[in-house]
Amino acid sequence: MFIRRFSRRRAHAIAGLVFLLSLGLYVRTLAPSVVDIFSDTLEFQLVGPTLGIAHETGYPLYTLLSWLFARLLPLGDAAFRVNLLSAVCAALAVAFVYRAGQLLTGRRLAAVCGAVVFALSPVWWSQAVIAEVYALHGLLVAVILWLILHWEAGKQGSRGAEEQRSKGAIRNPQSAICPPNLSSLVAVALAFGFSLTHHRLTLLLAPALAVFVLWTDPGLLRQPRRWPKLLTALLLPLLLYAYIPLRGLVTTSLDGRYENSWVGFWRWVMASQYGVFLTGDPFALHRNAAFYFDLFRVQFGWTGLILGLVGLVALLRKPRHWALIVLAFVTNLAFGLAYRAADVEVFFTPAFLLWSLLFAAGLDGLFDLAARISQRELRIAACVLLAAACLLQPLAMARANFPTPDRSDDWAVHDYGRDMLEQPLPEGATVVGLLGEMTLVRYFQRTEGLRPDVVTVAADGEEERHAAIGAALAEGTPVYITRPLAGTSERYSLAAVGPLVRVWPKGKAQPVTPQHPLALPFTEAVELAGYTVETRQTHARAMVRLTLHWRVAAPVGDDLKVSARLLDGAGQVVAAADDVPVHNTYPTWAWQQGETVADCYDLPLPQDASPGPYGLLVILYRAADGSEVGRAELGEVTVS
């Protein structure tokens, strides 16, 4: 009994160490805040902390867990805490891959190697450092596999103990049986039910689990008295879906599409519109076999692929285990091959997890060959060297690819979101933009209380944005847009306000007094009425923001572009920005006589730039041939 307890404690200790090392890696490369605009990551970083309704299928388990992380952890901002949930789930998944591999192979070293290979696989690593659903899904898959293998080990232990007891070989047969609370099939059903409240990919495990359970316990079908307990454990977690209609009483999804009715709820949970990725190829991706083969090669390298194939053969010694892992792998692989989404690689994460277990089984088979060495010291050395050789390529690949999953310095989206709301926007101003951009603005409004008075209008279609602009102007509301919109330069007057563009009725833009008034003629039609300059310190580097104020004396006619440059003491260009005026929204041929156009340019300094004074140079040139029509040196700006 003591030896068994010591062995169990050592297994727990190794699993804990695997978890901590994985967590350390993922936290080291964790995204510090919001990092993407046009992805589900930003949605989850807002939906979780504010208890919103996520896109189909709703993800109630993930939403509630991310809310707990955002509320209970005094670390970073809300987005960072939801990112941290992914890191914790991913590290736990790696630990459970180790535990499942240990039960699968019977060798800790093989299981550790399989877990390490999985932890370092690029797609899995990429999902461990951002707010996404796949880390939690991978954790639930790993837990289910560990529980089902543990249950089977308990059944085998019970049968072995029964046989020994019948022969009088042991006095206390209970000592050979795994604890019932860990080996219970009810725990498997409960974990499967919770996984269904998170991601429908869990259903792909059902055939393998059913075959494994009935193969291990064929009498289950003849014992209906056991069914209610299993069904209760399976179905009870599904009550979490009640979260969606309950929250639907006070809110809706970020895109406003969720309808809080029985039909709307059922449509949301079933997400039937995603079936188009199985029945068709809406993005015309046309992937071939080479693409999918390379996807696996990038995750595991040639060593990992070969060892996985060895594992397919080696695991045949344990037919039930072989059926469980291979059938689960085949169903997940088949789904990934048939699914035509743009980010299809994330749907292969369960297949990657299962291949890692095959990797462990393959290494276990090689260890069996090494076990034939008679001398103990040589046998141990051979196993250690074998494990090191099998891990050499995955570790080298992880080191070489480290910059790709490392999101720890990715502050650009965070700084952009704050920048929009830190502008001198009038009270109650309206900002019109794409859904992702408005989600970013809403994140700072709802999690940090930044400018809650600003009204956001999400409209992905151009006509929708035009309608929103027209409605706001008709009500006399100051309105801003986030990006170029076809037709605005003909319909409206435009002015840059930081990263935003103010929209005015045509010819009615109100000029702003520049920090440095001037009267510098560039052409007969355009003069520089002044400029405003400020230095900004972003997370990445210092930046100079230059706002030019162009006074229009007559119709310009030409299509002119602006080149704003920052010069060092030797007159060399250290930063430059060339664009159509007003963030590429207001070409000079659309300028109205008599108006003053505010035009903004950001000039980021190089990382190695030294503090001190820098000169400002502005050039106006023809877009057609690059010929200059005017230039001016505006003085200096001091960067500290």
Determine the pLDDT at residue 559: 93
d(CA 372, CA 536): 67
Q: What is the pLDDT of residue 194?
A: 96
| CA distance to 101, 210, 321, 361, 440, per residue, from 317 (Å) | 15, 20, 9, 10, 53
For position 457, what pLDDT does the model report? 97
* Selected residue with higher pLDDT from 91 and 382: 91
Q: Going by C-beta distance under 8 Å and a sequence separation of 6 or more, which residues neighbour residue 83?
A: 30, 31, 32, 33, 45, 129, 130, 131
Q: Which distant-in-sequence residues (6+ apart) come within 8 Å of 186 by Cβ?
A: 229, 230, 233
What pLDDT digit, counting tens, does each position of 537-549 carry?
A: 888 888 999 999 9
Concatenated DSSP letters of 60-129: HHHHHHHHHHHHH--SS-HHHHHHHHHHHHHHHHHHHHHHHHHHHHS-HHHHHHHHHHHHH-HHHHHHHS
Examine the pLDDT at 288 and tell me if it is beyond 60.
Answer: yes
Q: Which two tokens stand for residue 561?
A: 């572009």
C-alpha neighbours within 13 Å on the C-beta side of residue 515: 11
The pLDDT of residue 178 is 42
Q: Which residues make Cβ contacts (< 8 Å) with residue 503, sequence separation at least 6?
A: 469, 473, 479, 480, 481, 488, 492, 493, 494
pLDDT given at position 216: 92
Is the confidence at residue 31, as pLDDT, over 60?
yes
State both tokens at 142: 């790993």
Between CA 239 and CA 250 the distance in angstroms is 19
Rounded CA gap, 349 and 343, in Å? 12
Q: Determine how β-strand 479-481 pairs with β-strand 430-433.
A: parallel
What end-to-end distance do the CA atoms of the chain give, in Å? 68
* CA–CA distance, 97 with 118 (Å, rounded to integer): 8
What pLDDT score was predicted for residue 172?
44
Least confident of 99-103, 187-191, 226-230: 226-230
Residues in the chain: 640
Q: Global pTM? A: 0.91
From residue 168, how far is each of 2, 5, 162, 163, 176 by CA, in Å? 22, 24, 10, 9, 14
Residue 176 — pLDDT band, cuts 50, 70, 90?
Answer: very low
Q: Is the pLDDT of residue 20 over 70?
A: yes
320: amino acid identity, one letter: R
pLDDT for residue 164 is more than 70: no
User: What is the amino acid identity at position 62?
Assistant: Y
The residues spanned by each domain of the chain are 2-158+171-400, 513-640
Mean pLDDT of 505-512: 91
Q: What is the pLDDT of residue 11?
A: 78
More confident residue, 264 or 378: 264
Cα distance between residue 134 and residue 44, in whole Å: 12
HSE of 89 in the Cβ direction (CA atoms, 13 Å)? 28
202-224 pLDDT per residue, tens: 999 999 999 999 999 998 888 88
- The dihedral through the CA atoms of 387, 389, 393, 396 has a sign that is positive
Q: What is the pLDDT of residue 378?
A: 75
**Secondary structure (3-state) at 527:** strand
- Hey, how many other C-beta atoms are within 10 angstroms of the C-beta on 596? 20
Q: Has residue 182 got a pLDDT over 80?
A: no
Query: What are the residues whose beta carbons fall under 8 Å from the beta carbon of 134, sequence distance 6 or more?
Result: 127, 199, 346, 349
State residue 393's pLDDT score: 86
Per-residue model confidence (pLDDT) at position 174: 39
- Rounded to whole angstroms, how far apart are CA atoms 458 and 439? 8
pLDDT tens digit string along 245-255?
A: 999 999 999 99
What pLDDT, on a 0 to 100 scale, did the predictor assign at position 639? 85
Position 159 pLDDT exceeds 70: no
**Residue holding tokens 């590290």?**
91
Does residue 258 register a pLDDT over 60?
A: yes
Q: What is the pLDDT of residue 281?
A: 80
User: Of all residues in the chain, what percent carry a pLDDT higher than 90?
Assistant: 75
Q: What is the 3-state secondary structure (H, E, C) of 580-609?
A: CHHHHCCCHHHCCCCCEEEEEEEEECCCCC
| Cα–Cα distance, 319 to 331 (Å, whole number) | 18
- Tell me if 495 sits within 8 A of 598, measured CB to CB: yes
Nearest-angstrom CA–CA distance, 360 and 113: 6
pLDDT of 161 > 70? The answer is: no
Extract the tokens encoding 470. 């027209």
**What's the confidence (pLDDT) of residue 136?**
97
Closest listed residue to residue 190, CA positions, set 144, 145, 154, 146: 144
How many helices and strands in the chain, by DSSP H and E?
23, 13
pLDDT in tens, 395-433: 898 899 899 999 999 999 999 999 999 999 999 999 999
Tens-place pLDDT, residues 365-405: 888 877 777 677 777 777 778 778 888 888 898 899 899 99
Mean pLDDT of 478-495: 96
> Which residues have CB under 8 Å from 632's CB, separation 6+?
520, 522, 528, 617, 618
In this predicted model, what pLDDT tens digit does every residue of 557-578 receive, in sequence order? Answer: 889 999 999 998 888 999 999 9
Q: What is the CATH number of domain 513-640?
A: 2.60.40.10
Query: How many angstroms separate the CA atoms of 185 and 366, rounded?
Result: 32
pLDDT, mean of residues 579-586: 96
Q: Which amino acid is at 343?
A: D
Mean model confidence pLDDT for the chain: 90
Task: Give the chain's largest Cα–Cα span.
Answer: 110
Higher pLDDT, 172 or 22: 22
363, 351 in Cβ contact below 8 A?
no
Q: Tell me the average pLDDT across 15-44.
A: 96
What's the pLDDT at 540? Answer: 83
